[in-house]
Amino acid sequence: MKLPDTNVLIYAANPLSPDHATARTVLDAAAHEPGGVALAWLPLIGFVRLSTMARVMPHPLSVADALADVRGWLDHPNARLLQPGVRHMDILSRLLLEVGTAGNLTNDAHIAALAIEHNAEVLTFDKDFAKFSGLRHQILS
């Protein structure tokens, strides 16, 4: 099961991104693997937030289009929405304490904790995920 980070979702939906082809290919492949694609609210909401911002996107999506993309991902028959379970806080705490900081790594640690808890692999362009021990991840480039 593959869990895409926010940046993968943004690049997959933005044909003008230099990383569009990579993100789209990896996301489509994950959706068709036996384990499927794992989705989490933080990357999905991050996608809506960032893909609709003119200062981030040269051609921002309308809110309706961004929400339609999210709905499409959630409705995919091989998609699974991950939720924090009973071990989430323990895993999250361990990850943050091991890296010695929270700050900008807090959201990444939350996604990493979800992936570890649900035995998923994070798909991302963000090298910060390599800081989390026990996390299966694929840094795309």
pLDDT in the model for residue 26: 97
Is residue 25 pLDDT above 90, yes or no? yes
Q: pTM here? A: 0.95
The whole-angstrom separation of Cα 109 and Cα 31 is 23
Of 110, 104, 121, 46, nearest to 83 by C-alpha is 110
CA distance 2 to 133: 17
Q: 1-141 in CATH: which number?
A: 3.40.50.1010
Sign of CA dihedral 70, 75, 78, 84: positive
